[in-house]
Homo-oligomer: A and B are copies of this chain.
Amino acid sequence: MTSRAHTGVRSTGHTDERAPEDCPVREVLDRVGDKWSVLVIVMLGRRTHRYSELHRAIDGISQRMLTLTLRALVRDGLVDRTAHATVPPRVDYALTDLGRTLLEPLNALDRWAILHRDDIRAARERHDRARDPRPDGT
């Protein structure tokens, strides 16, 4: 997150790498597929939040990661940062119009996840049981 400039495929030296058709999906995932971005986006999709609110709401995130994630989102024009010159300081984060448009495809993924999480879980257990039978119960 600190300085990713590549598009998803890192070169080894030759410059002619090609994904299926340049695959824009990977571009999105490169900036939103990390551990926290979507969580932040979902939160801001509900309403504007200030830094401390996000920190409390997204349980488990460190200050460092929250800051880094927000910075990246602001940089990409998905999130708006508004610093109020009060004391103590107060900073509000909100989705931009662009950021809001991202909510739709994200919700599509969300619906898919809800619909098929059990299938995946089942497939995995089937698969694991096949290669590690463990006849008894230890």
Contact B9 A26 (CB under 8 A): no
Contact B26 A38 (CB under 8 A): yes
- Copies per assembly: 2
Given A20-B42, A38-B25, A123-B75, are A59 and B112 also a contact pair (CB < 8 Å)? no
Would you call the interface of chain A mostly helix, strand, loop, or mixed?
helix
**Residues of the B chain whose Cβ atoms lie less than 8 Å from the Cβ of A46:** 20
Look across to chain B and name the residue whose beta carbon is closest to the beta carbon of A115: B101
**Residues of the B chain whose Cβ atoms lie less than 8 Å from the Cβ of A111:** 105
> What's the minimum C-beta distance from A21 to chain B, rounded to whole angstroms?
8
Contact B60 A9 (CB under 8 A): yes
**Residues of the B chain whose Cβ atoms lie less than 8 Å from the Cβ of A59:** 9, 16-19
Contact A60 B108 (CB under 8 A): no
How far apart sit A110 and B10, CA to CA, in the bound complex (Å)?
20
Contact B24 A39 (CB under 8 A): no
What is A's interface to B at a CB cutoff of 8 Å? 8-12, 16-20, 23-29, 31, 33-35, 38-39, 42-43, 46, 57-60, 74-78, 98, 101-102, 104-106, 108-117, 119-120, 122-124, 126-128
Closest 6 interchain pairs by CB? Answer: A77-B123, A33-B33, A24-B113, A9-B60, A105-B108, A17-B59
